[in-house]
């Protein structure tokens, strides 16, 4: 599997495959050593699993983005990986163009996760989200402009920037700017964090 991924990504002109690891512990060590922009992380591995490895890599180096790979698109372990700080989610048999697009998306600060997966993630974890998110979360939302709040709602619904642009009759570049500003104002790491906050606060 690793060989196949390395071959696919290594053929992309502006990608460099800097390393591989056979298990979570060595993956953490390699990430620390090589400081990659993006890590593709399996969920089930011997020793330290992919969820714990994701958590530790993101803690060590927040600028490294992790894409969780799994066999099934409704794998509950993979959703735990998102909660651990992963920025994307992909099934292992995804076509090469989806894999490449996912790497580009998370490197650019977006999330690589479909609306279907977002919905399932919230079905699995929604019950553990505090109602209305508390006063601190509400205070955070007060920092947003009306348009940024509109964009956050649609991000929370799992829409991509192009879908949000169509819904709000905006240019996609304008939506990207709004997303960047709301992430900065709310002090969120990435789009996944925005989805979770939108549901915690009850605006979605």
Q: Where are the domains of the chain?
A: 2-125, 131-200
Rounded Cα gap, residues 87 and 195, in angstroms: 11
Rg over CA atoms, the chain: 17
- The larger pLDDT score, comparing residue 76 to residue 8, is at 8
Triad 114, 120, 121: Cα angle to 5°:
85
- Which range of 5-9, 81-85, 96-100, 120-124 scores highest in mean pLDDT? It is 5-9
- The larger pLDDT score, comparing residue 128 to residue 70, is at 70
Rounded Cα gap, residues 168 and 166, in angstroms: 6
CA-nearest of 55, 2, 7 to 31 is 55
Q: How far is CA 204 from the centre of its chain?
A: 18
Average pLDDT, the chain: 83
CA distances from 58 to 10, 17, 83, 112, 186 (A): 24, 19, 11, 16, 19
Rounded Cα gap, residues 176 and 184, in angstroms: 12
pLDDT tens per residue across span 39-48: 999 988 888 9
CA-nearest of 49, 100, 43, 102 to 70 is 43
- Domain 131-200 annotated CATH 3.40.50.300: no
3-state helix, strand, coil in the chain (%, to 5): 60, 10, 35
- Asked if 192 contacts 86 with a C-beta cutoff of 8 angstroms, the reply is yes
Q: What's the rounded mean pLDDT across residues 78-107?
A: 82
Which CATH code fits 2-125?
3.40.50.2300
pTM score of the predicted model: 0.70
Task: Give the count of beta carbons closer than 10 Å to the beta carbon of residue 84.
Answer: 20
Triad 104, 53, 131: Cα angle to 5°:
80
Task: Name beta bridge partners: 68.
Answer: 41, 89
């Amino acid at each position: 599997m690793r060989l196949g991924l390395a071959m696919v990504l290594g053929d992309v002109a502006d990608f460099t495959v800097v390393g591989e690891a056979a298990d979570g512990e060595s993956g953490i060590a390699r990430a620390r050593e090589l400081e990659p922009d993006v890590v593709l992380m399996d969920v089930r591995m011997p020793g330290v699993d992919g969820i714990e490895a994701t958590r530790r890599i993101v803690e060590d180096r927040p600028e490294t983005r992790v894409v969780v790979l799994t066999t099934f698109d409704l794998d509950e372990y993979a959703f735990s990986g998102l909660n651990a700080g992963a920025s994307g989610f992909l099934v292992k048999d995804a076509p090469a163009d989806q894999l490449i697009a996912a790497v580009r998306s998370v490197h650019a600060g977006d999330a690589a996760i479909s609306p279907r997966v977002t919905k399932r993630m919230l079905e699995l974890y929604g019950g553990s989200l505090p109602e209305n998110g508390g006063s601190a979360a509400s205070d955070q939302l007060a920092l947003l402009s009306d348009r940024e709040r509109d964009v956050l709602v649609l991000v929370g619904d799992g829409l991509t920037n192009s879908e949000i642009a169509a819904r709000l009759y905006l240019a996609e570049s304008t939506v990207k700017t709004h997303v960047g500003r709301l992430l900065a104002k709310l002090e969120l790491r990435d789009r996944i964090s925005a989805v979770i906050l939108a549901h915690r606060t009850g605006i979605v």
